[in-house]
Structure 1
Amino acid sequence: MKIKDIMSRDIVTCTPTDLISEIAQSMRALDIGCMPVVEGSRVIGMITDRDIVTRSVAKNGKRHVKDVMSDEVISVGPESTSQEAAEIMAQHRIRRLPVIKNDQLVGFVALADLSVPSETAHEASQALHEISEPRHL
C-alpha cells in the first residue's frame, strides 16, 4: 500500500521561533505527540513531546522550538510503500514520519496509520516490536 493512500493530510506545523510553551499547549489540545518544524514550506526539523520534556523542562526551560527540536528529518515520500515506512520507523525507532514531495510537506504518517488497513497490520506490528526493543548500550 502506498503512503499517499493512508497518510494524514491535515498537518499542524510550527516554526523555529515559536515558544515551547505554546507548542506544548497546542500538542495537548490536539492530542498529538510531535510537529514538523518548518521555514516557509520546507521541513527543517521535528519537535516531539519528549524533546520538550528532556531538552526544555529538564534543562532549565529552553524557550524556543529551535533550542530543542531534532534537526535530522527522517521522512518518506508519498509513493513509498507502507513496508518501506515501517522499516524506516523500526530502523530509527520512531513512530511518526513526515511525508515530503519535492521538498514540500504533503502529509504525515504514523505507526497507527500503518496498523489500520489489514494489508499493513503486519508491517506495523513488526515496526512496533523493533521500536519497543530495549537498546543495549
Structure 2
Amino acid sequence: MQQQLRNFMTSNVYKVTDMQSVQEAAALMSEHNIGSLPVVDQNGTMVGIITDRDITLRTTAQGEAAQTPVSQVMTAQQVVQGTPEMDAHEAAQLMAQQQIRRLPIVENGQIVGMVALGDLAVDNQLGNEAGQALSNISNPSDPQK
C-alpha cells in the first residue's frame, strides 16, 4: 500500500528568507526546537536549507558574525526535496542515500511541508526502513562545505 508523504509531513513549516541573518535563523530554531529551516526568496520559492550544523560549521567555527546573511551559510545547490505525492518508502530510501534526516516537501516551488526521519519511524510499516535510513545516515561521509 502506497503511503504519500502528505500523510506524514508537518505542514506548519517555519522558514527564513535568504536575506535574514544567521542569528535570526538560530533564534527561530531555538524557539521551536527544530534543527533546520527551509530558505525562501521574496516570492516564497524555496532556494535552500539551513541547518543548525550549517550555522555551527560555516559561521560560528569560522568566527563569522551572527549578522551574516542566511544566503552565505545555507545549502543552496542540489537541495534534496520531496513532493506531497511521493511514496514514504521512496522518501526513506532517498533520505538514506543522501544521508539527510529532514526532507523539505515542495510543490510548485513552494515549501508545503517537512518530513523528518522520526515522522517515518512512528509508522509500523515504515519503522524498519526508517531504521535502515538512520543507519545509512549515521555512516561517516565527507563533510560538504
TM range (shorter): over 0.9
Query: 2:121 aligned with 1:115, yes or no?
Result: yes
SS at the partner of 2:27? helix
Shift of 1:123: 1.3
Query: Who is 1:61 aligned against?
Result: 64
Query: Who is 2:130 aligned against?
Result: 124
Q: Aligned partners of 2:71 and 2:8: how far apart in 1?
A: 30
Query: Who is 1:3 aligned against?
Result: 5
CA-atom RMSD in angstroms: 1.4
Aligned CA distance change for structure 1 residues 136 and 100 (closer, same or farther; 3 Å): closer
- Give the aligned residue type for 1:22: E
TM-score by length of 2: 0.90
TM-score by length of 1: 0.95
- Give the aligned residue type for 2:5: I
- Runs (4+) of structure 1 moved beyond 6 Å? none
Q: For 1:1-137, list aligned pairs within 5 A.
A: 1-39=3-41, 40-62=43-65, 63-72=68-77, 73-135=79-141
Are the aligned partners of 1:82 and 1:123 in contact in 2 as well (CA < 8 Å)? no
Shift of 1:98: 0.7
* Unmatched 5+ stretches in structure 1: none
